């Protein structure tokens, strides 16, 4: 499949969502309802079916995990350092800065592109697990500690680890692996139902993402441009570059895993950064604008990454 056939449909659907929101073609609140449907129903169905075809051994990609985690730490750490020293971000804002600079939009953008480019959801699931197990608890700990309560911060960290298993996307992925390894073949009626439900996941996710960009918190202002542009470039340029160097020269990954590694690292900033920012009332405008701008820039950088590995 050529590069344009992989990248263009994804960003056309995101643009469609933005246009629908911009001109009021859909009722207010549609974005949240659509996102909840995708997150709790359609995407879990897609991931369950996809991961049921995967053997447990395929997840034991320690080189991929190590290279991705190292590149995430470098990009997030560098981004947070510069944002604090140059742009004056406070200690309470730094956890959100870390998410903007290092945490990938693995499901809404990553999954469609990964399935089109490589036909496998395994790299996406590995990245999701890395982020929810290693990054999210630490971010929540720092945000709660910023409010002044270390005991509350510890509880939030432990609670986030418990909540991981309850997350529909994670639970469906793990259940799919378990079913594929131990369970019988799904009845045709059940399989067809899940296929139909999962078919709504990718277009629904992309349109919901585009709709969210019309929200006031996601709009980019001239005042925020230098800071937001820096965070976006760290995420979609520095992060994949670090992943490439770590994967090729430290872990010496096979090209079949190096390409997904760099592609996942090159995805735009995750929506969770904005969700946490709004929940804790810090860095809200910057987080929303970073997600928007990093997604726009990633249309070009992801095209370059896919083109590079296809040559």
For residues 250-273, average pLDDT: 96
Q: Is residue 77 part of a domain?
A: yes
* CA separation for the pair 200, 270 (Å, rounded): 21
Share of the chain above pLDDT 90, in %: 70
For residues 167-178, average pLDDT: 91
* CA separation for the pair 25, 203 (Å, rounded): 17
pLDDT at 11: 97
pLDDT at 149: 63
Q: Is residue 24 part of a domain?
A: yes
Structure-model confidence comparison of residues 29 and 148, the more confident one: 29
pLDDT at 63: 97
Chain centroid, CA 83 distance in Å: 21
Is residue 216 scored above 70 in pLDDT?
Answer: no
Q: How many Cβ atoms from other residues are within 10 Å of residue 225's Cβ?
A: 12
Q: Is residue 83 part of a domain?
A: yes
pLDDT digits (tens, 9 = 90+) for 105-150: 999 999 999 999 999 999 999 999 999 888 988 888 888 777 766 6
User: pLDDT band at 226, cuts 50/70/90?
Assistant: very high
User: pLDDT band at 261, cuts 50/70/90?
Assistant: very high
User: pLDDT band at 221, cuts 50/70/90?
Assistant: confident
pLDDT at 111: 95
Instruction: Please state the pTM of the whole predicted model.
Output: 0.93
Query: How many domains are there within the chain?
Result: 1
Is residue 214 scored above 80 in pLDDT?
Answer: no
For residues 288-303, average pLDDT: 95
Using alpha carbons, select from 235, 303, 295, 301 the residue that is nearest to residue 71. 235
CA angle (98, 225, 112) in 5-degree steps: 60
* CATH number of domain containing 140: 1.20.1530.20
Is residue 47 scored above 80 in pLDDT?
Answer: yes
Q: Sign of the C-alpha dihedral, residues 52, 56, 61, 62? A: positive
pLDDT digits (tens, 9 = 90+) for 232-248: 999 999 999 999 999 99
Residue 204: domain span? 3-306
Q: Is residue 74 part of a domain?
A: yes
Q: Which residue has the tokens 């090729």?
A: 248
Q: Is residue 195 part of a domain?
A: yes
Angle between helices 136-146 and 150-166 (to 10 degrees): 150
Q: Sign of the C-alpha dihedral, residues 67, 71, 77, 80? A: negative
pLDDT at 84: 96
* CA separation for the pair 210, 295 (Å, rounded): 10
Q: Is residue 151 part of a domain?
A: yes
Give 268's contacts (C-beta < 8 A, 6+ positions apart).
104, 105, 109, 232, 235, 236, 291, 294, 295, 297, 298
Specify the range with the lowest mean pLDDT, choosing from 87-101, 115-129, 163-177: 163-177
For residues 34-56, average pLDDT: 93
Share of the chain above pLDDT 70, in %: 95
Q: Is residue 311 part of a domain?
A: no
């Amino acid at each position: 499949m050529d590069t344009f056939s992989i990248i263009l449909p994804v960003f056309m659907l995101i643009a469609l969502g933005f246009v629908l929101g911009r001109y009021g073609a859909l009722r207010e609140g549609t974005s949240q309802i659509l996102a909840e449907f995708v997150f709790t129903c359609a995407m879990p169905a897609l991931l369950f079916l996809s991961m049921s075809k995967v053997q447990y051994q395929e997840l034991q990609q320690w080189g991929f995990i190590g290279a991705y985690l190292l590149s995430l730490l470098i990009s997030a750490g560098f981004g947070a350092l510069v944002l604090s020293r140059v742009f004056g971000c406070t200690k309470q804002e730094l956890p959100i800065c870390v998410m903007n600079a290092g945490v990938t939009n693995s499901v809404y953008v990553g999954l469609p592109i990964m399935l089109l480019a490589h036909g496998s959801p395994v790299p996406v699931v590995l990245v999701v697990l890395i982020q929810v197990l290693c990054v999210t608890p630490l971010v929540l700990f720092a945000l709660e500690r910023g409010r002044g309560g270390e005991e509350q911060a510890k509880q939030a960290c432990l609670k986030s680890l418990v909540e991981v298993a309850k997350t529909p996307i994670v639970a469906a992925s793990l259940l799919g692996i378990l079913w594929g390894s131990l369970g019988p073949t799904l009845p045709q009626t059940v399989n067809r139902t899940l296929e139909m439900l999962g078919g709504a996941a990718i277009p629904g996710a992309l349109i919901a993402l585009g709709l969210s960009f019309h929200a006031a918190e996601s709009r980019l202002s001239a005042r925020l441009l230098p800071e937001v542009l820096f965070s976006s470039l760290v995420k979609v340029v520095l992060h994949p570059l670090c992943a490439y160097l770590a994967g090729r020269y430290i872990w010496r990954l096979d090209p079949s895993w190096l390409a997904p590694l760099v592609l996942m690292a090159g995805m735009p900033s995750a929506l969770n950064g904005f969700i946490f920012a709004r929940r804790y009332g810090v860095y809200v405008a910057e987080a929303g604008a970073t997600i928007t701008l990093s997604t726009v820039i990633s249309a070009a950088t992801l095209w370059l990454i896919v083109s590079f590995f296809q040559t």
